[in-house]
Amino acid sequence: MASHLSMLGRLGPPPRATETVRQHLDALARARGSAPWAARFRSDTVASVGAQLHLDVLACDGARACVVFMPGTNAYALLYGEFLVALAEQGVHVVGFDPRGHGRSSGARGSYTLEELLSDMDAVVHFARERFGVPVFVAGSSQGGITALYYAASGATVSGAICHNIADLSQPESARLMRSPRLGRLLRPHMARLARLFPELPVPMSAYLDLRAEPVRGAGTAHRVLLNDPLTVPFVRLRTLASLSSGPFPDPTARVRCPVLVLQAGDDGIFPTDYVRGVFDRLRCPKTMKVYPGRAHYMVVDDVPAFLGDVTAWMDGVLAGASEASA
């Protein structure tokens, strides 16, 4: 009962960007056995359609590209701080952002649609392009990876998409991502109508995702992160769940034109590897998929050295190909 009361207590506005937040992030890094990195980022904001977004920007000298990064469901960009710092140390500007209803951005906690997330990503891509003037890649983890794929499918001009996990939400098979796939298939035809009746009803994430089995270094499990971290949100609204039960395009895999890199943890308990592989196989763009045996869903938080080299090598290959094509 206490955990649910704590959940409902976070229905209000996002936490302020104060020294208390910095102290929390430093404590998080220490718990994970890392040197504190929050002070290396500069906070900024950008306006999206109906929301003000919090940005965490890390620039570097002589950068060859910029990565716009979106976190997973109801997380926040600096939860992935080790990855973002490691990217910057490889000569890449980084702009992490908290989508609406997440972290330090505006909006009712846990209330958003996929279309709104796409608007948020678009606003940050424009910010990055104007600020840095270098090729821009979109990237994301989990829900962020799905959004990056859909953003690439929207016709947006980016150099590539780096997706930790992908999904085709237009297909009934996406119910496999839910804690109870059978229940997901039964509810899917009715979600839109239920969301119209009770759009802001909070639904605990543990009701549809099995987060108790997903380990997170320094925190125990993903379930504990969402319950205990003041910058996360342990629920989504019914309108959100309805949006994620379908998709804005009939088949996003047919619409992507830019290169795509898919990162997949071999022991991911939320995104089965065979499901992700099936979506990947239908992509018609230049594509690469890397599977990391023995890694769990929070690989992008916990196991940066395992995949960082693959990300930077792939980006360099894309940039080199673009340079040759324009020569």
User: DSSP secondary structure string, 241-310?
Assistant: HHHHTS-SSS-GGGT--S-EEEEEETT-SSS-HHHHHHHHHH--SSEEEEEETT--TTHHHH-HHHHHHH
Predicted local distance difference test score (pLDDT) of residue 34: 86
Distance CA 125, CA 65 (A): 12
C-alpha distances in angstroms, 217 versus 44, 153, 169, 196? 28, 33, 29, 39
Closest-CA residue to 268 (of 98, 147, 141) = 141
Predicted local distance difference test score (pLDDT) of residue 13: 53
Predicted local distance difference test score (pLDDT) of residue 28: 87
- What predicted TM-score, i.e. pTM, was given to this entire model? 0.92
Cβ atoms 246, 184 nearer than 8 A = no
Predicted local distance difference test score (pLDDT) of residue 5: 34
Question: CB-based contacts of 277: which residues, under 8 Å, 6+ apart?
Answer: 264, 289
Predicted local distance difference test score (pLDDT) of residue 247: 65
Convert the pLDDT of each residue in 122-165 to its tens digit.
999 999 999 999 999 999 999 999 999 999 999 999 999 999 99
Convert the pLDDT of each residue in 91-134 to its tens digit.
999 999 999 999 999 999 999 999 999 999 999 999 999 999 99
Joined together, the tokens standing for residue 29 give 């890094």
Joined together, the tokens standing for residue 102 give 């997440």
Q: How open is the CA angle 284-286-287, to the nearest 5 degrees?
A: 90
Closest-CA residue to 50 (of 111, 141, 128) = 111
Binned at pLDDT 50, 70 and 90, residue 24 comes out as confident
Binned at pLDDT 50, 70 and 90, residue 172 comes out as confident
Binned at pLDDT 50, 70 and 90, residue 11 comes out as low
Predicted local distance difference test score (pLDDT) of residue 1: 31
Give me the helices (H) in the chain, please. Answer: 2-8, 19-31, 81-89, 114-132, 143-153, 181-187, 191-197, 222-228, 238-244, 273-282, 299-302, 304-326
Asked whether residue 21 carries a pLDDT value surpassing 90, the answer given is: no
Question: CB-based contacts of 227: which residues, under 8 Å, 6+ apart?
Answer: 3, 6, 7, 234
Predicted local distance difference test score (pLDDT) of residue 181: 64
Q: What are phi and psi of 122, to 5 degrees?
A: -65, -40
Closest-CA residue to 115 (of 83, 147, 159, 81) = 147
Q: What's the CATH superfamily of 2-320?
A: Alpha/Beta hydrolase fold, catalytic domain (3.40.50.1820)
